[in-house]
Structure 1
Amino acid sequence: MSVMDLLQLYEWIDIKCILIFLCVFLLLGDYIRNKPPKNFPPGPWSLPIIGDLHHIDHTRIHLQFLEFAKKYGKIFSIRIGPRMVVLDGYKLFKEVYVQQGDNLADRPSIPLYEFIGNRGLITSSGYQWKQQRRFALSTLRNFGLGKKSLEPSIHLECRFFNEAIANEHGRPFDPQVLLNNAVSNVICVLVFGNRFEYSDNEFQSLLKKMSEAVYLEGGICAQLYNMFPWIMKRLPGSHQKIITLWKEVIDFVREKVNTHRVDYDPSDPRDYIDSFLSEMDKLKEDKDAGFDIENLCICTTDLFVAGTETTTTTLYWGLLCMIKYPEIQAKVQEEIDRVVGGEREPSISDKDKLPYTNAVIHEIQRIGNIVPINLARVVGETTQIGKYTIPKGTLVTSNLTSVLFDVSEWETPHSFNPNHFLDAEGKFRRRDAFLPFSIGKRVCLGEQLARMELFLFFSSLLQRFTLSSPAGVEPSLDYKMGSTHCPQPYKLCAVPR
């Protein structure tokens, strides 16, 4: 062997050794960084670098969490990015989120939304989140949230919606676009001060972008971005589209904010944006409270998106359930005819007199399971959950599917059964495990608005129309999974009664 050959061999060995050393260093570093702490909840066997990603099917992750709970217990851990603790079942969910609410009030930092920062109402934490939530609740109440003063606005939108349905003349159509626009208009009046016509193509396009972003957020690319942001931000994929879509939605909101800044009157606020602008003038010195233009855009976007997406999806499930179970639809219509009649619209004051209709709406929310996995929270201080020690900074979430389908709480959890919400005398009964809006410090601030909208849209629609599946089509409860649990697209026929 020549001297040249030996030199080449040494160079090859050196490169090989360096590569081996780097691999060992990365694997060892990953192990040390992600090693489960002492007395931590058990979970699936994780691989280096990718954690439990190989275990997860994102199209059925809520169902996989149920399977993990059966195998590892009602408190288990999983590693998709940072190691996270998952809670299973109603009793544990309520115990932890209520009794340790203050310790589980903050959100983690999510790499995919680093362009937003820890701002707004959904991703913010600490003092800023408390100030913004307090302000949003008080402001929306001033504009009628939870009060009868908001009802005429919803009634008006119900009339526009029903007229649009009537214009389909009983032909098969997909109701999602109309539902999206109608529901969105209610929150738009509160935050922007105006509604949008169903013929407004620009607004329709915006709503489609929102829905697409919400769907893509549940995909593998979004998860990979949150695990490996330094790599994924340089690669193409749906994660790039998510960021682009949300920036377009925020830009739409920013235009509304800029328009308001031109002509708003601090003494006579028209909506949430006006009220926020007025609060900015009052709290100029309190920088930590987040009353600035950029946070106004993010907070308004949060209200706009949250006030549109989940209620729309719930009603989309509701109409699907009515064509799937026509005998239940007929019972709802009989009750509405008997109590309300056909001369006036159903009102919130009718709710207690319509126990079966109310029970059906609640069962739609339960079976629809719109947000099957709770948004993650961060442990503020090291704590004990069950027999396990959960260190400060650990992510905690709960599988709401395990709450809404808890076999120890529901008589027939996997069947669409309005009797879950009716007593022996046919009166409406509340159920402790009915928690689609979550619970604790981070409970959905739009719960009252959503309840009003669901009742009024659903009851007014069934008062005027009989819904059915197109001829020869069998309705399916198949779903698609993104950030929300949504029906696969379907068509129905709405025939005037």
Structure 2
Amino acid sequence: MPLGACVTSWVGIALSNGSRWHTLRTLTLGALKEMGLGIKDIEERIQEEAVALCKELGQNDSSSPFHLLSNALSNVICAVVFGQRYDYDDPDFKTLLDMLNNNFKLIGSQWGQRLPSYSSSQMYDMYPSVMDWVPGPHHQIFHNFELLRAFIYDQIWKHQKTRKQGEPRDFIDCYLDQIDKDKQDPWSHFHMDTLMMTTHDLFFGGNETTSPTLRYALLILLKYPEVTKKVQEELDRVVGRERVPRLEDKNNLPYTNAVLHEIQRLISILPMDLPRAVTEDTIFRGYFLPKGTHIIPLLVSANRDSIQFKDPQSFDPTNFLDEKGAFRPNKAFTPFAIGKRVCLGAGLARMKIFLFLTTILQRFTLSTAEKPENIDLTPQFTSLGKVPPPFELRVLAR
């Protein structure tokens, strides 16, 4: 099957529209809340996984421990969606995560991007129907997608054999319950294909944004050791080293909170949003956009707005601090898009970024052989998403 079919046949949340999108989103949000998203249960899962990660980091001699970070972050979404976590040395799961990471890189490369790039006109932008048939690494995207589809279908099959109707253990069980309820409705949006693709959206979106964000965060903290030192001093003062950081600590960690916001603002891990359509005739910067016109919002343009942020191309946590050092939000900060179609996993992503990074900084000193002034933050790839450059990282117990 040509690669382009991957986009046109999508039936999950990310690229659906109208009543299908509304129905799927409503069920998905309800299921995620039932599974603990937004309450204490999911926070405890993240804390436990952050502690497990730190234990592995402390025992790992590698200068590139990022596979551990990817596995830990994936385990959080796996617990919610699949109802289980995986050991860090599980070979099948490591292969799956490598495949996901490879897809994110290919999508961001000159071969893979089907949607318009904010920075350059890529091969798929210009010749989509031709590129479907041209040999090259871009076909690996669809091959990887099929492998992930097989993994998800295997999980669904296992759930079908072990579930108890009306007693959901995870997201898949909630969805299967809804399929049972609507099985007599020929117009229902709930069937195996939408379950598979919605699960894919949650799994891929939940992993391939937070993982590069945290890798980028660690790289930035290596480049600015004075910032890292201030964050750790604040953590020692507010949280200490005897207990795991909690979400409620965020209100008492203004500098740490500002640093996390500034990292996300600067890197803009998703420079552009997914395609959208204007809901009414609109005049934008002198251009007339008729109702229904498809657009791709450039999130990076808000995050790098020189009116909202001083010297927006530079890293400066004071962008989110007032003159008294208190945290100050900014409406131009848009890492998860805006409006009704804001990323439905935004809350979970914020929790993971805060709890994982603060737990790592609470327990470890970050080091690398590279001098801070020589660390380059230029992404390895930039397109639909940004991939941070490879770098060495070692952690030393504090």
Q: Do they superpose with TM above 0.5?
A: yes
- Equivalences for 1:414-493 in 2 at 5 Å? 414-470=313-369, 474-481=374-381, 482-493=383-394
- Deviation of 1:286 after TM superposition, in Å, equals 3.7
Question: Is structure 2 residue 58 aligned with structure 1 residue 157?
Answer: no
Residue 221 (structure 1) aligned to one of 99, 111, 119: 111
Quote the residue 1:177 is aligned against. Answer: 67
Question: Is structure 2 residue 219 aligned with structure 1 residue 320?
Answer: yes
CA distance, structure 1, for counterparts of residue 100 and residue 282 of structure 2: 37
Against the structure 1 CA distance between its residues 262 and 270, is the aligned structure 2 distance closer, same or farther, given a 3 Å change threshold?
same
- Equivalences for 1:117-136 in 2 at 5 Å? 117-136=9-28
Q: Deviations over 1:263-318 (max 9, x none)?
A: 11112100000000000011124444421011111110110011111011111111
Quote the residue 1:80 is aligned against. Answer: none
CA distance, structure 2, for counterparts of residue 382 and residue 471 of structure 1: 52
CA distance, structure 2, for counterparts of residue 380 and residue 111 of structure 1: 30
CA distance, structure 1, for counterparts of residue 10 and residue 62 of structure 2: 44
- Whichever residue aligns with residue 100 of structure 2, its letter is M
Quote the residue 2:119 is aligned against. Answer: none
CA distance, structure 2, for counterparts of residue 466 and residue 272 of structure 1: 37
Contact 1:225 1:239 in 2 (8 A): no
Residue 202 (structure 1) aligned to one of 92, 95, 106: 92
Contact 1:269 1:275 in 2 (8 A): yes
Against the structure 1 CA distance between its residues 234 and 406, is the aligned structure 2 distance closer, same or farther, given a 3 Å change threshold?
same
Against the structure 1 CA distance between its residues 275 and 311, is the aligned structure 2 distance closer, same or farther, given a 3 Å change threshold?
same
CA RMSD in angstroms, aligned pairs only = 1.9
Larger-Rg structure: 1
Identity, in percent, stands at 40
CA distance, structure 2, for counterparts of residue 307 and residue 120 of structure 1: 14
- Equivalences for 1:354-393 in 2 at 5 Å? 354-379=253-278, 382-393=281-292
Give the secondary structure class of the aligned counterpart of 2:208.
helix
Quote the residue 1:13 is aligned against. Answer: none
Give the secondary structure class of the aligned counterpart of 2:387.
strand
Contact 1:374 1:438 in 2 (8 A): yes
- Deviation of 1:371 after TM superposition, in Å, equals 0.3
Quote the residue 1:101 is aligned against. Answer: none
CA distance, structure 1, for counterparts of residue 53 and residue 166 of structure 2: 34
Contact 1:118 1:125 in 2 (8 A): no
Quote the residue 1:404 is aligned against. Answer: 303
How many correspondences in the alignment?
386
> Which ranges of structure 1 fall in alignment gaps of 5 or more residues?
1-109
Contact 1:372 1:400 in 2 (8 A): yes
CA distance, structure 1, for counterparts of residue 359 and residue 3 of structure 2: 43
TM-score (norm 2): 0.92
CA distance, structure 1, for counterparts of residue 133 and residue 359 of structure 2: 50
Question: Is structure 2 residue 47 aligned with structure 1 residue 166?
Answer: no
CA distance, structure 1, for counterparts of residue 278 and residue 324 of structure 2: 44
Residue 280 (structure 1) aligned to one of 179, 194, 198: 179
- Deviation of 1:410 after TM superposition, in Å, equals 0.2
CA distance, structure 1, for counterparts of residue 241 and residue 47 of structure 2: 15
Give the secondary structure class of the aligned counterpart of 1:220.
coil
- Deviation of 1:141 after TM superposition, in Å, equals 0.8
